[in-house]
Structure 1
């Protein structure tokens, strides 16, 4: 019995000691996990610089070369983050070109051959952005004798524009159709288109070379006057890879290089304006009259379909324009400034 008591006492003492050790002993806290290694921040590619919005200063001549702009001219200026334009309308090219050369203008709508003259004069500081008007020249007749270019042989044609595009275009088309412009036809040169209209109205002439909108104006005054030949169509029929061109949009080379976003925005906006004008003749005619490009809206509306307003850019522009200038150069080098412009004459984004 005593042995049993001693054994029990010893066992209880041992259990108590183990219990005290377990309760009083401190467990070591697990070592804190090391923070994950910080990756070096990725090197961000610098964003392309955003071009600050600017106001593009644009001039155009009153006539077909300005008609395609009227929707753009009438739109309210966009927000400060969008393209802004300042338009000037002039009566003659010599009112525009000095400002363009001096840098007071950024862009201008000018005759196609003048663009080449300016390029040569400024030693390549003028760039052509777009063709904006194809041919606007027509042979009109008070009668029905002329149905083709061949029918002009032996006839007298009153015309204005000697020493400029009307003469070069007429002589070229006559020659290409087998008519010697110096021997087979008589060209009676007048000082201005209004004189040609007067000669038709008085009966002194029955055939004339006239541009739009003078054709439409003449038709309102002379009963029976018709458009006998469209010289743009006659040019296209030659299928020589060029095109008959009246007007282009040019810009200063420095402006194009410094503000490519503004140039791109303008070409996009201008193309949209041209599309609108060609699709909405009645509304466009009201704007054309409002801006004083053609005073009478009914005349503008009737003339618009024959004004060949376009916005041709890129390779097509280059092909048509270089071919046209080549024709002018072959006829009279001075018409394009003495030499053909270089490869940097036409803008290709």
Structure 2
């Protein structure tokens, strides 16, 4: 009896030790999800705040959808807090990213290239939208072709903007000089809403403006589109109008989050293409939040039909536009011959996002 009891106690002790050892091994072994790179599955991930910049413009539709559908939140992870900052123009945005006020965001290549050549501390990591700007002439301007712009005044949203660069290229290819007198065309900066008033009063005679402003001008009977979006240079509308950029500091410290942001951008582009009707409503919702005023859904639909949503980035087109900025005097201390944008684009992040890394 004593032998039997001793055997039983020994067996219980052995089984208990085996069980404890099994638990220790399980705790030390990684779970199937460990190392997957999914931030939401990592309880040890430190809280991070990501500051994202975006414009109050429908051409930034991919960013709007990525926010509204929470693609950014899903891809960046639950440990990330996203702070959105809205901008009215590329100059303010570019200054903000160069000075560390934001980490990444959507902007045009014109002002961002100008700023990069000064500060060299942020990079293009993806495209978002190609094209989406049109040349509109006022109804009482007497302008029906680009050549009619001699002696006329043309408005662009801001000096040095991508729209101004396109306008300069368009005038050059049509043989129209840019002057400060009636021997050529004069360029002035006007906010889009002010441009509508100026066209109506014939204070400016035309504008190269992003959608949906061009469509709105036509619908209100203020003017008419004389050069559609797919004929605007460079490359007949297939040029980067909106790109996704990130600061060097952000890329260095959080490259995984930069890749995640590009994944969210890709997801948003795919969603818009697959679900246009739902996208129009979501874009209008975010636009209303950022600007305090929404748009007629028909305008948003028209605007999206006049642009090409894509993550692709043409380095050649950005370089061509930079040369225009140099010749216009917006880029100082750099000549066309010494222009070097090789470090401005870091498309390895886009490649990683597309490959699922």
Q: What is the TM-score with the length of structure 1 in the denominator? A: 0.68
SS of equivalent to 1:248 = strand
Residue correspondences, number: 293
CA offsets, 1:131-189, max 9 Å, x none?
A: 3233433222338976654x435462441346323443323321222222336544363
What residue number does 2:68 align with? 74
Q: Give me the whole-angstrom Cα distance separating, in 1, the residues matched to 2:112 and 2:226.
A: 30
What residue number does 1:171 align with? 168
Question: Structure 1 residue 115: deviation in Å?
Answer: 1.9
What residue number does 1:57 align with? 51
SS of equivalent to 2:215 = helix
Aligned in 2, Cα 1:181/1:74: closer, same or farther, shift over 3 Å? same
SS of equivalent to 2:233 = helix
What residue number does 1:130 align with? 126
Q: Give me the whole-angstrom Cα distance separating, in 2, the residues matched to 1:79 and 1:304.
A: 25
Question: Structure 1 residue 282: deviation in Å?
Answer: 2.9
Structure 2 counterparts to residues 266-345 of structure 1, below 5 A: 266-291=261-286, 292=288, 295-298=294-297, 299-313=299-313, 317-334=314-331, 340-345=339-344
Structure 2 counterparts to residues 224-239 of structure 1, below 5 A: 225-230=223-228, 233-236=231-234
What residue number does 1:194 align with? 193
SS of equivalent to 1:290 = helix
Question: Structure 1 residue 346: deviation in Å?
Answer: 0.5
Among 78, 83, 91, which residue is 2:87 paired with? 91
CA offsets, 1:246-283, max 9 Å, x none?
A: 33211111322333332222222212212322443332
Q: Give me the whole-angstrom Cα distance separating, in 2, the residues matched to 1:348 and 1:57.
A: 21
Q: Give me the whole-angstrom Cα distance separating, in 2, the residues matched to 1:205 and 1:120.
A: 32
SS of equivalent to 2:331 = helix
Q: Give me the whole-angstrom Cα distance separating, in 2, the residues matched to 1:60 and 1:102.
A: 16
CA offsets, 1:295-316, max 9 Å, x none?
A: 1242323322224443224xxx
What residue number does 2:353 align with? none
Aligned in 2, Cα 1:252/1:91: closer, same or farther, shift over 3 Å? closer
Q: Which runs of 5+ in 2 are unaligned?
A: 1-33, 40-47, 349-357
Q: Give me the whole-angstrom Cα distance separating, in 2, the residues matched to 1:260 and 1:117.
A: 24
Q: What is the TM-score with the length of structure 2 in the denominator? A: 0.67
Question: Structure 1 residue 60: deviation in Å?
Answer: 0.8
Q: Which region of structure 1 is more displaced relative to structure 2, 83-92 or 331-340?
A: 331-340
Question: Structure 1 residue 56: deviation in Å?
Answer: 4.1
